[in-house]
Amino acid sequence: MSVLLGITVAVFLMLRFIPGDPATAVLLTMVEPGLDSAQITQRDIDEVRDQMGLNDPLPQQYAMWLGRVMTGNLGTSLRSRQPISGELAVRIPATLKLGSAALLVMFAIAIPSGILGGLYAGRTTDHVTRILSLIGESLPSFFLGVLLIYLFAINLGWLPAMGGRRPESIILPAFTLGVGIAAATSRLLRASLLDTLSQPYMLMAEAKGMKRRTLLFRHALRPALIPVLTAASLVAGGLLGGAAVVETVFAWPGVGRYMVEAIAGRDYPVIQGFTLLMATLFVIINFVVDILYRLLDPRVRVEERGHV
Amino acid sequence: MTMLLVEGLSKRYRDHQVLTEVAFGVGRSEIVGLVGQSGSGKSTIAKCILGLERPHVGRILWHGESLSERTVRRRARRGMQAVFQDPRSSLNPRWTVRQLLSEPLDNWLPAERGVIRLARLARLLDRVALSADLLDRHPHELSTGQCQRVCIARALAPEPDLLILDEPLSALDVSVQARLIELLLDLHRTSGISYLLITHDFAVVADICQRIVVLDKGNVVETGKVDDVLSRPTHAYTQALLRDVLPMPG
């Protein structure tokens, strides 16, 4: 809770301390096309500042803003004049859908390749998975996206290139997003697995004649997954925050693309609302990961009991 | 009949010769100490016996049959168990004592369940002087000495004929060492189990072992009854080792 409160303070102050006056920014967006911004007078600015409550003391402004945020009111977009919460609510499901699909792609690629790399370290299988990981990590998502569009949408005509209306529209953007993060996760799992497999209790199990596969699934995989979980939680935060590049390449109607448009249009309230939402999401994801840690490692439970 | 027989065992890591024609045996109900300084090749011998390393030359016989045969190896895996130096890292930190002790039992007695299994687990813990209350604890909730007792209980689970003890006391403080030595001797007296005790500590060898094999740079330099070797060492290396750790008579 204290983290969330800290985030609200940071996000609130962010808008107050960025260069330029928010009232002027609002007035600039209200200028009719063709009219000169020089026509804006100091009186207009003062009036808007008063309407926006910018003349009140900062703590009072924060309290009022927080009160609105708590009721789900993130303000109004300067460009569309629509409530930001409404605009985000329309786009979040698309982003959640894409993020979850990308995570699935990531796990589907990273876990088998990481396990193969760890089990057959130094052998051909390991070299192949490492080279593929390197390629996957080195390919910029905009390039891979365009490549996939060219191959599967334009040349083969199997999948739609853009938008999110058809169910199969998600395949290309999810794959583009998933491949990049799978490469790093796979290498992390490989390293973590190698470390776990070198533990004396693994040697002990091997000395008892346990087969490599049994050893892997009974002893090694669970501890090896802990760093992967940490990485996945960071990645998941980023994915839910909207993969701006991929959403733009595939014209995916998610929050990432919305954010890119807001930044381009200097739509400060949208940026503020989006930042707050993403920071909250990160806190929630970290909380969920903490719970998962406890399931994966009993020592975490005891350490916590010890600290109480 | 010799239960475990090591014959002409040689092992090399790249250009480094670790073991050279090592030969010794462990008989039924016998406690043999394999002694040498760090790097003398003691643990490599243990790994070769346990099948974790493959010797370049030589053979290891279990009840007269070569361990290179798969069926013999399978039998030996039940008949010979190991306890390693660091008890904490020898136990999967995510498993409870119940899971740790059940794992070998699941291999050898897969049909055993419920009350009978629970009774067996409690008996195993009792043999190493631990309470059955510890069954649901994780290794990090136990002392190092308790962890080593759990390791011994786990090794005893398949009712082996031989325990390979690779520096089992070096991670423990002196008072815990003394209690574990007592425990090992007690287990030997009651069940007739054999030990191959790998250590650099002559004092421990003097307390537990009947026979001793001294190893220097991968070569067996002296072997014999403990009392004979400790009181009248013939090899200069053994004499030097003993001078460092035990007051020489006269």
- Give the per-residue pLDDT at B250: 44
Is there a contact between A200 and B84 if contact means CB atoms under 8 Å apart?
yes
**Chain B residues near residue A199 by CB distance under 8 angstroms:** 89
pLDDT tens profile B102-123: 988 887 787 878 889 999 999 9
- Give the per-residue pLDDT at A58: 83
Mean pLDDT, range A67-88, rounded to an integer: 83
Q: Measured between CB atoms, which of A201, A219, A297 is closest to B90?
A: A201
**Chain A residues near residue B73 by CB distance under 8 angstroms:** 209
Residue B214 has pLDDT above 90, yes or no: yes
User: A281 vs chain B: nearest CA distance in angstroms?
Assistant: 30
Residue B220 pairs in a beta bridge with B215
User: A29 vs chain B: nearest CA distance in angstroms?
Assistant: 59
- Give the per-residue pLDDT at A35: 53
Question: Treating both helix axes as pointing N-terminal to C-terminal, what angle do A268-296 and A2-17 enclose, rounded to 10 degrees?
Answer: 160
The reply to whether B50 touches chain A by the CB within 8 Å rule is yes
User: B77 vs chain A: nearest CA distance in angstroms?
Assistant: 6
The strands making up B80-83's β-sheet, listed across from edge to edge, are B80-83, B162-166, B194-199, B31-35, B211-216, B219-225
Is there a contact between B92 and A203 if contact means CB atoms under 8 Å apart?
no
The reply to whether B69 touches chain A by the CB within 8 Å rule is no
- Give the per-residue pLDDT at A303: 57
- pLDDT band at residue A37 using 50, 70 and 90 as cut-offs: low
Contacts 24+ apart (CB under 8 A), A298-307: A298/B93, A298/B94, A298/B96, A298/B138, A298/B140, A299/B93, A299/B94, A299/B138, A299/B140, A302/B138, A302/B140, A302/B141
Residue of chain B nearest A220, judged by CA positions: B92
- Count the Cβ atoms, other than its own, within 10 Å of residue B18: 21
Chain A residues within 8 Å of chain B (Cβ atoms): 199-201, 203-209, 218-219, 222-223, 296-299, 302
Q: Which two tokens stand for residue A83?
A: 């409530």
- Give the per-residue pLDDT at A307: 47
Check residue B248 and report its DSSP letter. Answer: P
Residue B3 has pLDDT above 80, yes or no: yes
- Give the per-residue pLDDT at A29: 66
Q: Measured between CB atoms, which of A206, A207, A299 is closest to B140?
A: A299
Average pLDDT value over all residues in chain A: 81
Handedness of CA B123, B124, B129, B130 (dihedral sign): negative
**How many percent of chain B have pLDDT more than 90?**
39
- Give the per-residue pLDDT at B153: 92
Average pLDDT value over all residues in chain B: 88
Gap between the Cα atoms of A259 and A242, Å rounded: 8
**DSSP string for residues in chain A:** -HHHHHHHHHHHHHHHHSSS-HHHHHHHHHSPTTS-GGG--HHHHHHHHHHHTTTS-HHHHHHHHHHHHHTT---B-TTT-SBHHHHHHHHHHHHHHHHHHHHHHHHHHHHHHHHHHHHTTTSHHHHHHHHHHHHHHHS-HHHHHHHHIIIIIIIS--S-SS-SSSGGGGHHHHHHHHHHHHHHHHHHHHHHHHHHHTSHHHHHHHHTT--HHHHIIIIIHHHHHHHHHHHHHHHHHHHHT--HHHHHHTT--SHHHHHHHHHHTT-HHHHHHHHHHHHHHHHHHHHHHHHHHHHH-HHHHHHHHHH-
- Give the per-residue pLDDT at A38: 66
Which one-letter amino acid corresponds to residue B183? L
Residue A125 has pLDDT above 60, yes or no: yes
Is there a contact between A201 and B52 if contact means CB atoms under 8 Å apart?
no
CA distances from A161 to A104, A157, A165, A171, A176 (A): 21, 9, 11, 10, 12
Mean pLDDT, range B74-94, rounded to an integer: 86
- Give the per-residue pLDDT at B221: 92
Mean pLDDT, range A17-44, rounded to an integer: 67
**How many percent of chain B have pLDDT more than 70?**
97
Residue B82 pairs in a beta bridge with B164
Closest alpha carbon to A98 in A230, A248, A247: A247
- pLDDT band at residue A108 using 50, 70 and 90 as cut-offs: very high
Gap between the Cα atoms of A190 and A226, Å rounded: 12
- pLDDT band at residue B244 using 50, 70 and 90 as cut-offs: confident
- pLDDT band at residue A33 using 50, 70 and 90 as cut-offs: low
pLDDT tens profile A152-178: 888 888 888 887 678 888 899 999 988
Residue A272 has pLDDT above 50, yes or no: yes
Is there a contact between B140 and A206 if contact means CB atoms under 8 Å apart?
no
pLDDT tens profile B130-187: 999 999 999 989 998 899 999 999 999 888 999 999 988 887 888 888 888 988 999 9
